[in-house]
Amino acid sequence: MEERSETLTLIAVYHFICGLGNLLFVCLFLFVPLIVGLGVAGSSSQDDGTAAAVIAVIGLLGGGIFLLLAAANFAAGWGLWQRREWGRLTAIVLSVIRLINFPVGTIIGGLIIWFLIQPQARAEFSVRRTPAAGL
């Protein structure tokens, strides 16, 4: 069985790291509203309660979005690691989304897209692999 290229391994690890970073943002978006809610719990002002509710909704929506991004990054990383075509396509889609994060995300996303559409990279995903024993 052919080994995965170093660049493909690096991109897969990058997606795993991005997934972990997204999980940290999930924690942030879920715990900040909790802390704000505890801060205004003793207040009798209706404005404080409304503000806490709005922050809670924003926190849940943001946490949900980052949870989806974390799952997508982990899936892309795993797919790239296993040299599956769906992993390559998922990584390309995530890299297109990453292009809006100027300037670093634009550079990294562009480089990942560029690499994954190259014929030699595409050839890595068409290599027939024999299933590992016990899997």
Residue 126 has what pLDDT? Answer: 81
Across the range 44-58, mean pLDDT stands at 76
Q: Answer whether residue 60 is part of any domain.
A: yes
Q: Answer whether residue 52 is part of any domain.
A: yes
Across the range 55-65, mean pLDDT stands at 88
Q: Answer whether residue 133 is part of any domain.
A: no
Taking the CA atoms of residue 20, residue 21, residue 24 and residue 25 in that order, the dihedral angle to the nearest 10 degrees is -130
The residue type at 110? G
Number of domains in the chain: 1
Q: Answer whether residue 104 is part of any domain.
A: yes
Give per-residue pLDDT as tens, 99-132: 999 999 999 999 999 999 999 999 998 865 555 5
Helix, strand, coil in percent for the chain, rounding step 5: 80, 0, 20
Domain range for 61 is 6-126
Residue 43 has what pLDDT? Answer: 66
Task: Decide: 101 and 109 in contact? Cβ < 8 Å.
Answer: yes
Q: Answer whether residue 131 is part of any domain.
A: no
Give per-residue pLDDT as tens, 80-103: 999 999 999 999 999 999 999 999
Q: Answer whether residue 70 is part of any domain.
A: yes
The pTM of the full predicted model, rounded to 2 decimals, is: 0.84
